[in-house]
Structure 1
Amino acid sequence: MSTSTTAVEKPRTALSTVPEVTVLFWVAKVLTTGMGETASDFLAHHLDPVVAGGLGAVGLAVALALQLRARRYVPWVYWLAVAMVSVFGTMAADVVHVILGIPYAVSTVAFLLTLAAVFAVWRRTEGTLSIHSITTRRRELFYWTTVLTTFALGTAAGDLTATTLHLGYLASGVLFAVVIAVPAIAHWKLGLGAVSAFWFAYIVTRPLGASFADWMGVPASRQGLGWGTGPVTLALAVLIVGVVGYLATTHVDAPVAEVRDRDTAGV
């Protein structure tokens, strides 16, 4: 009887379903943020908004279903989920502003408070916000809820600086490139915890990637390069495929426990 109870209470998997944080993790993250921004804009301008939103929602649901079924970190599955969260997160933030008419300053604060609430519940429930602890279904649900909220927050924050504050997309990108160095320096010099530094940087990658992607995609009349959202989306998607293909082949971002198991097995 005791053996049965133990089996029921075991985590869904002993392996983390998210990657180790490496330089390529941040490269892939910034690429997906940019791709999600321009892909969302492309769909919104070439399809009926309801159809575009429906496609984004279905794509997100399918990608997350695949990710939640995975019992270990699978690069293609994980980064597909991140990409679809990026697309849908952009759509969600745009709906709040364009459809509901809520100013970017208000939506930014609202998404920030929502993220703080998610973090608080996650921390109180699980005792940690570390991505190295994503080994159960409940923790993974907290993780992806957080990721989706960070994308919506980052989208609103990027649009706030670019349009409401009139910085433009290039200046906004440069601003967030400077801001993203803050958690790294604070962790290195001021003792900021690794978990706090990670999530700070994770949030900032969204407006960083989106600002530069918008700058490349929007026309010169909006202070952009005018390459078009379609071509920029395609180019970023190709780069993402290349990076994820490398990660899948080399396993350089495999969770530590998985690497240990592979080494033990002689792989």
Structure 2
Amino acid sequence: MTTGITGAAGQTGTTHPPRTAARQTVSSLSKVPEVTAWFWLVKVLTTGMGETTSDYLANKLLTPVVAVGLAGVALVVVLGVQLSTKKYVAWIYWLAVVMVSVFGTMAADVLHVGLGVPYAVSTAAFVVALAGVLGLWYLSERTLSIHSVRTRRRELFYWATVMGTFALGTAAGDLTAVTMHLGYFSSGLLFAALIAVPALAHWKLRMNAILAFWFAYIVTRPLGASFADWAGVPTVRGGLGLGTGPVSLALAVVILALVGYLTVSRKDVAAGS
């Protein structure tokens, strides 16, 4: 059993019991991947892709209203496919994550750009909303472990939580980069340092594994999005000026390669499943 957040999200205590046949059976029924370094790598890449793809669709290719509508329909379709599967399938799961990333970004941007809600207010609102979803999940199921996601109700709670983390992370990233004037690159460095907090706290201070997981999961959103924005936005906005379209395409290629590798190698599937 590895230390840190990797491989620990399914535990509820601070000890590291040996993997038993029963625990393998539970993991094999889960609709989500094993939490490994591969999980975190693909997760961060999907957050970056969601950010730049959202900006490209809404600002370059389509109108914001059409982009939000199409992204919403695509999200519903992909989540329907994900919910209909009987077990974890890498390409379906990660496609759902990408669509949540794209739509979650648009939802957060609509509040600020379309309705004029300050990033500080939307960030606080998303914190409350996410806390509400997690609270309802725990009251209903008595666990927030992602490796307990093996019933329809738990899976619905899981994806509602994922959507909340993406919206919150988007607003938080824009809050630091724009409102606090840190810029995208400095914001990326800030969240890179922040994501180490739950890993170290779990490893050294025995922080609850599930709390550490969701802490890190939220931070991956502004982490990936900040660096993707930095690469894509014009130089006058503090970026490299590569363009949101090319950055989105490059990230998509890398994600496809990684998900293809995971599909073949099954590196993100529990042993014995």
Task: Give the alignment's TM-score, normalised by structure 2.
Answer: 0.89
Task: State yes or no: 1:252 paired with 2:267.
Answer: yes
Contact 1:30–1:205, Cα closer than 8 Å, also in 2: yes
In structure 1, distance between residues paired with 2:216 and 2:85: 26
In structure 2, list runs of 5 or more residues that go unmatched.
1-26
In structure 1, list runs of 5 or more residues that go unmatched.
1-12, 262-267
Match of 2:177 in 1: 162
RMSD: 1.0
Contact 1:33–1:83, Cα closer than 8 Å, also in 2: yes
In structure 1, distance between residues paired with 2:152 and 2:211: 22
AA aligned opposite 2:125: A
Match of 2:21 in 1: none
Contact 1:183–1:201, Cα closer than 8 Å, also in 2: yes
AA aligned opposite 1:260: G
Q: Of 240, 244, 261, which aligns to 1:229?
A: 244
In structure 2, distance between residues paired with 1:232 and 1:55: 21
> 1:14 and 1:214, CA in 2 relative to 1: closer, same or farther beyond 3 A?
closer
Match of 1:142 in 2: 157
Match of 2:57 in 1: 43
Q: Percent identity?
A: 67
Larger-gyration structure (1/2): 1
Q: Of 16, 37, 50, which aligns to 2:30?
A: 16
Match of 1:106 in 2: 121
AA aligned opposite 2:48: G
> 1:188 and 1:219, CA in 2 relative to 1: closer, same or farther beyond 3 A?
same
Contact 1:14–1:135, Cα closer than 8 Å, also in 2: no
Match of 2:22 in 1: none
In structure 1, distance between residues paired with 2:89 and 2:72: 22
How far is the alpha carbon of 1:232 from its aligned partner? 0.1
3-state SS, counterpart of residue 226 of structure 1: coil
> 1:172 and 1:14, CA in 2 relative to 1: closer, same or farther beyond 3 A?
closer
In structure 2, distance between residues paired with 1:192 and 1:69: 35
Structural mapping, 1:8-157, within 5 Å: 15-46=29-60, 47-157=62-172
3-state SS, counterpart of residue 182 of structure 1: helix
In structure 1, distance between residues paired with 2:203 and 2:63: 48
Contact 1:161–1:172, Cα closer than 8 Å, also in 2: yes
In structure 1, distance between residues paired with 2:64 and 2:28: 41
How far is the alpha carbon of 1:14 from its aligned partner? 7.0
AA aligned opposite 1:184: A
